[in-house]
Structure 1
């Protein structure tokens, strides 16, 4: 398991997309009002214009997992707190977010 996706909350996806294009040197594979996504190698960089509305205060790294609900259950049993329960984020993908005892967040993404 590794962190393969990092989502940044943004207020202006068009302006943020232009900034990330310049730095990453690639065009987004998706450029929609609800999400701008870049792939650099096997790393995904996502810009979420709704992130602030969902409580994101900064970037969230997502581990790709086979079963979000099972890993979420294991994480909570180990002492993590659920910040976002497993939900469909589109195209059949499920995502959840957990928070450790220090307020650090980690996302779980099932493709």
Structure 2
């Protein structure tokens, strides 16, 4: 039934600040921008080995009321060095959601809250690398 990750959606009150922050973090500008009344209402980045989509949506278009505190599901993006990625995110203004934790051999997770109130997870996951290697023959 579930075939793959298509888009992770985050919300922001200040779309210009979100665009600048995520462009700086990812090293690319959004490939798609949808304006509403001249202002960006949606930004979309393609990132990673599989070009997954990270969408930033103007919070006024959120389908439900947004909680006062970050929480809920955490989406983890694979990184080669969790500690380095975690420290970089903090240096860019994110705050600690969960310090790096080794979950078992080959699995380390950490998460932050971005400046817009979204939880962003980073993970070293040996299974991710196994799948990637099986598809690339590496």
TM-score, structure 2 normalization: 0.40
Structure showing the higher strand proportion among its residues: 1
Higher RCO (CA 8 Å, separation ≥ 6 residues): 1
TM-score, structure 1 normalization: 0.48
**Structure exhibiting the larger radius of gyration computed from Cα positions:** 2
